Structure 1
Amino acid sequence: MRALVSSLRRICTASPRLLSINGVSPAQIRRDCALLYHGAALSDDRRPLTRNRRHLYHLASSSHDDTTIYALSTASGKAAIAVIRVSGPACRQIYEGLCPGTSFPKPRYATLRKLYTPHEAPSPSTLLDSGALVLHFPAPGTVTGEDVLELHVHGGPAIVRAVLAAIPKCATPGSRHRIRYAEPGEFTRRAFANNRMDLPQIEALGETLSASTEQQRKLSVRGTTSSLAARYEHWRSLLLQARGELEALIDFSEDQHFHESPAFLCRSVSRQVRQLHSQIEAHIANAMRGELLRSGISVALLGAPNAGKSSLLNRIVGRDAAIVSQEAGTTRDIVEVGVDLGGWLVKIGDMAGLRRAGLISPDIVGAVEQEGIKRAKKRALESDVVIVVHDGTTELDCEVTETAKRCVELGINVVVAVNKMDKLVDPAAFSEWRDKIQNALHVSPERIFFVSCKGDLGSSTATTDAGDSGNIKSFLQGLLDTFKDMTTALVPDSEPDPFIWQESLGATERQRVLLTECASHLDSFLTAVQSDVETEATAPSAVGSPEFELSRPLEDTHGGYGIDIVVAAESLRLAAESLARITGRGEGGDVEEVLGVVFEK
């Protein structure tokens, strides 16, 4: 097998044109042979598209060129104005059908027109709308990259239905342009196909439309720019260049004399890949932080019965969201409340109080309450923030403390609220409580608050300007500071500009998964080259000299050095393909691209 690989590689180098079959290059044949030797042959679905497959793909994606689509762009229902958007080559034809006998609007200027039923003489009986604003946007500088016509009509449901029904009737007999209602998301698909938007921008657009809090708005607005896609493409080009260097080592080392030894070249590429790997890891971590802004921060109220969890929940949300009673065990199941807290979407869960059976009587905790306690512990361990509520008039509850310790060990943010501060007469009691909590939970003093939930709900919530009754506002500000720490972008040490990492918070879950896949391939690359680099770096000078290394075929190097280089180059290709799938454009680099990088260098 070793001799077969060597022979095939020499034949591919000597006669590249004879082996170019169905768009598969000699370099690909050499790579696949080497991978077969390792037992890691590529499957068809992971190969780059050949020229023929790429051609068929472009034919399929351009099949809508003669089709004009239209749809209602504003929300359905009664409104002052409704906007109907038309995109495609038949925009002028639709305008002439709806506005017969009038001049075509000047590009990007609003023009007042009357809309009539197509192919019928204009009259009061055929009038659809007595005053519509018509705008024309010529291609390619439009949202879809095609000619766009916008009809701003009166927003009555009957008028909107009439105009929508009239648009497809504007098609003239024998015309090659089809007119139909747009499929869901079709305007955006055309914008992507015509290079007006990339996939990260499209994903951010959907989040912009669904943003309900200030932090979600900021997150989505960051993603609507092309900076994220530009960063992914920059990373992809770096991997392409690194792969080009390794491909040069594989393809031409037997015929050309390199100024650098294979080990030195691998070390140079490894440094670049390692730096890129750290940036991608930071990007992944920031994407997870951004997901907290997008889907909401999960908060759990943990405490013993009658500690004041439900009362604190009601004070946070400013209404009676949970039942408050002197009877222990009032809350059995989890009460979930969603609230916009300082711009953050927060999902607060009030849960059953934690206590053990047998402390007062053997059967004080019934089966239903036991299930509630079990669910409360599970909810706390799955939360992003846990608010531990203690009754300031009693001792620390061991069951609550043990669960809170587990939360701290798992890296969950823990905030402590000592309730019923109005009953703490001795000033030294505050210091004692703070010391006990720090010793038990190792929570920083900045996250320990003394509150009182006694009083009117409307007098001390976060939305009022009244005095800080019960220290609730200070507690809420501490919560907001915790949320801010959790959702602030991480900046790698090697990055000089921290502001550009704010955009990484807008990475979606799909992007995060592909970035994780890319990082995994980079790990495989570093594993493939590390042992060989270390082996050659520590070899005797006579054997490890550049002249010695370049005087023999790579596949004959002891330890399978050449095979590892091939696998390393393949890992870079797979990593680049993962980045390409994020933006939806390009590939990991076909043979022409790689050779272009090689000859350029």
Structure 2
Amino acid sequence: MFVAAHRERGKSSSQRETSDIYQSLCPSKPIPKPRYAAVRTLYEPLAPTRNILDSDALVLYFPAPKTVTGEDVLELHVHGGSATVKAVLSAIPQCTSPAKIRYAEPGEFTRRAFQNNRLDLAQVEALSDTLSAETEQQRRAAVRGTSGNLGRTYEAWRQQLLYARGELEALIDFSEDQHFDESPAELLWNVTAQVEVMLESIAAHESASHRGELLKKGIRISLLGPPNAGKSSLLNQIVGREASIVSQEAGTTRDIVEVSLDIRGYLCTFADTAGLRTQVSPSESGKNDSIIGHIEQEGIRRAKAKANESDVVIALASIEWSDIRNGWEIRYDIETFEIAAKAPKSMIAINKSDSVTPEILSELINDFKKSQIDIITENVVPLMTISCKNAQASSSQGSIGHFIDEMVKVFENMTSLPTDLEDLLGVTERQRQLLAACSAHLLDFTKEAQLQVDDEREVDIVLAAEHLRSAANCLSRITGRGEAGDVEEVLGVVFEKFCVGK
């Protein structure tokens, strides 16, 4: 059975309006016990004895301040038919003055929860991320911020900075009239020690935010390699459809083909790129197709640019027959591995492993590792053999399923944190930017304090205290509390993402 929930918010200073709404809809029954569901018949307020709106509605009453918004909340759970819902919505304005009842604006319930100190701004952002999460890993990252632990940490830091600032300003105002337990130099040294510890903590939060952003915004993966190495075939096998054109003709892919999908909870965007190769003269190669045209050159340029901005680069090579060597070889592009070596994370995939026997394959892989030991090592970069032609979904060695298993391990390595630090995955990009600004102000403070040690000159206490004030204001903009003068502007940015009803 479908249920529609309507929340009617009363004034927090009085329960009268909430009671009036309830009594108009349920004239013969007392308001339910707080936080207990009761079955009620809902009547049209202007015809309570004749027109029944819903005979078996669930009614719950939540008195302020211990509610989601901090205000009185009356919830009506009615049968989900559109006619019933429409009838109840039409009846509610008849319960009291129409001027006192309106539809909630997008995000208004959450905004009121924030204004009534039921949520801090970090929790609000986490709720927004939770509502927009499309994958399991996005959801897990988002809910880390809903506990309030991040907000409490940032508020504790802010209070610590305000206290330190107060101590420094006391030196300015009362140093000649009062006796302090610490000398100005000792006080400055103690505050500096606290600031340095805080800087280390902020750095940990900034670092963790990058991992959280990978989960929320997705992991960007580029497939890079020479023509006909199997980039398009691998993409098609991963996504399970013909997303990219596959042909025996070299250079089929000229532009970038991007596909986004959920891989075991991770949002991934794969980019199939043009094959990388170096132009040689026809006299050297004996072929006219060795000349790289303008369109292919542009495709290669875009491929390199896409790889340089990716989170993971999958470098492809392939097993091919060599007429010159009269034997099998692993064919690759050296620049591919140089680019992959500079990427945050990378993998090597040797395609067409089904072309040779296991013995020859093992020999080729060993020779390949020796030749590329200075660029990429297996200790850092997984090296996989695959066959896109005889692809299998199983997890056996050489299958696409096994390749995906190893790829997911790379994702886990990029995004995981120790259990006691997992709340840091909830740090948002906005919060990270403010933490970076806070860190910059604290570094300015430490530079000012260091002048006393290096130059043996008197520190400008006023300037030092101002650095602490600026740092504290950055933290207040994260939680939405304190002295931030532009909190309303921050709220507008955060709440514009919410839908009606939250």
Normalising by the smaller structure, the TM-score range is 0.7 to 0.9
Residues 334, 351 of structure 1: 8 Å contact kept = yes
After superposition, what is the alpha-carbon deviation per residue over 1:498-537, rounded to whole angstroms, capped at 9, x for unaligned?
543211111111111111110010011011111113333x
8 Å Cα contact 1:266-1:533 kept in structure 2: no
Aligned to 1:515: 435
Q: 1:483 aligns with which of 400, 411, 417?
A: 411
Q: Which residue of 2 aligns with 1:472?
A: 400
C-alpha distance in 1 between matches for 2:106 and 2:133: 20
1:438 and 1:445 in contact (8 A); partners too: no
Equivalent residues in 2 for 1:226-305, closer than 5 Å? 226-305=148-227
Distance 1:588 1:256 in 2: 32
Distance in 1, matches of 2:78 and 2:123, equals 29
SS, match of residue 227 in structure 2: coil
Say whether 1:181 aligns with 2:103.
yes
Structure 2 counterpart of 1:421: 353
| Residue identity matched to 1:478 | E
Aligned-partner Cα distance in 2 for 1:254–1:212: 62
- Aligned partner of 1:405 in structure 2 is 338
Report matched runs for 1:525-544 at 5 Å: 525-536=445-456
Verify the 8 A CA contact 2:222 2:270 in the aligned structure 1. Answer: yes
The Cα shift of 1:144 comes to 0.5
Partner residue, 2:248: 326
- Cα shift readout 1:91-141 (whole Å, capped 9, x = no counterpart): 222112222222211211111122222222321xx2222321111111111
Partner Cα separation in structure 2 for residue 468 and residue 276 of structure 1:
48
* C-alpha distance in 2 between matches for 1:209 and 1:133: 25
**Tell me, which stretches of 5 or more residues in structure 1 are unaligned?**
1-78, 461-465, 490-497, 537-558, 590-601
For 2:6, give the aligned amino acid.
I
Is 1:164 matched up with 2:92? no
Q: CA 1:584–1:534 in structure 2 vs 1: closer, same or farther (change >3 Å)?
A: same
Give the CA deviation at 1:256.
2.6
CA pair 423-363 structure 1, distance change in 2 beyond 3 A: closer
User: What's 2:369 paired with?
Assistant: 434
Take 1:455 and 1:396, find their aligned partners in 2: how far apart are those partners? 18
CA separation of 1:121/1:474 partners in 2, compared to 1, >3 Å: closer, same or farther? Answer: closer
Aligned to 1:338: 260
User: What do the CA deviations read for 1:227-277 (whole angstroms, capped 9, x no partner)?
Assistant: 111110111122122212212222222223334332222222111101111
Q: Distance in 1 between matches of 2:288 and 2:248?
A: 19
Change (3 A) 1:531 1:314: same
Partner-residue secondary structure (3-state), 2:410: helix
Distance 1:588 1:94 in 2: 38
The sequence identity of aligned pairs, in percent, is: 52
Matched, 1:147 2:72: yes
Residue 223 of structure 1: SS of its match in structure 2?
coil
Runs of at least 5 residues in structure 2 that lack an aligned partner in the other structure? 12-16, 282-286, 322-328, 486-502
Please report how far the alpha carbon of residue 403 of structure 1 lies from its aligned counterpart in structure 2 after TM superposition.
4.5
Aligned to 2:480: 584
Alpha-carbon distance in 2 for matches of 1:371, 1:107? 68
What amino acid maps onto 1:450 in structure 2? T
**Distance in 2 of aligned mates of 1:114 and 1:432:** 80
Q: Contact 2:317–2:350 at 8 Å: present in 1 too?
A: yes
1:84 is the counterpart of 2:6: yes
Say whether residues 1:99 and 2:34 are aligned partners: no
CA distance in 2, matches of 1:413, 1:437: 17
Greater Cα shift, 370-379 or 184-193: 370-379
In structure 2, the residue matched to 1:392 is 319
Is residue 518–residue 574 contact of structure 1 (8 Å, CA) maintained in 2? yes
Pair 476,387 (structure 1): closer, same or farther in 2 beyond 3 Å: same
CA distance in 2, matches of 1:363, 1:393: 18
Greater mean alpha carbon deviation, residues 369-378 or residues 518-527: 369-378
CA contact (8 A) 1:305 1:329 kept: yes
Query: Per the alignment, do residues 153 and 263 of structure 1 end up closer, same or farther by CA in structure 2, a change over 3 Å counting?
Result: same
| Amino acid across the alignment from 1:437 | Q
Partner of 1:438, secondary structure, is coil
Give the 5 Å matches for 1:26-65: none
Distance 2:82 2:254 in 1: 48
Deviations 1:23-75 (A, max 9, x none): xxxxxxxxxxxxxxxxxxxxxxxxxxxxxxxxxxxxxxxxxxxxxxxxxxxxx
Report the alpha carbon displacement of residue 406 of structure 1 after superposing the two structures with TM: 3.6
Match of 1:575 in 2: 471
The 8 Å contact of residues 401 and 441 in structure 1, kept in 2 or not, is answered as no
For 1:131, which of 32, 36, 56 is the aligned residue?
56
- Given the alignment of the two structures, is residue 366 of structure 1 paired with residue 293 of structure 2, yes or no? yes
Alignment of 1:195-234 (within 5 A): 195-234=117-156
Deviations 1:196-246 (A, max 9, x none): 111111111111122222211211221110111111011112212221221
Distance 1:80-1:257 versus aligned 2 partners, 3 A rule: closer
**Cα root mean square deviation, aligned:** 2.3
Following superposition, the deviation at residue 488 of structure 1 comes to 2.2
Aligned in 2, Cα 1:327/1:266: closer, same or farther, shift over 3 Å? same
Question: Residue 404 of structure 1 contacts residue 414 of structure 1 at CA under 8 Å; is this kept in 2?
Answer: no
Matches within 5 A, 1:65-76: none
> TM-score, with normalisation over the residues of structure 2?
0.87
Of 270, 274, 283, the match for 1:348: 270
One-letter code aligned to 2:297: Q
Q: TM-score, normalized by length of structure 1? A: 0.73
Q: Could you give the per-residue CA deviations for residues 371-396 of structure 1, whole angstroms, max 9, x where no partner exists?
A: 22221111111100000011122767
Tell me how far apart the structure 2 counterparts of residues 249 and 324 of structure 1 sit (CA, whole Å).
Answer: 74
How far did 1:150 drift? 0.8
Rounded to whole Å, the distance in 1 between the matches of 2:101 and 2:395 is: 63
The offset of 1:407, in angstroms, is 4.5
Using the TM superposition, give the Cα deviation of residue 156 of structure 1 relative to its aligned residue in structure 2, in angstroms. 1.6
Note if contact 2:45-2:94 (Cα within 8 Å) is conserved in structure 1: yes
CA contact (8 A) 1:351 1:376 kept: yes
Equivalenced residue count is 465
1:162 maps to amino acid: A
Deviation at 1:446, TM superposition (A): 5.0
1:302 CA drift (Å): 0.4
Equivalent-residue separation in structure 2 for 1:108 and 1:178 (angstroms): 24
Q: Distance in 2 between matches of 1:436 and 1:473?
A: 28
Query: Tell me, what secondary structure is at the counterpart of 1:272?
Result: helix
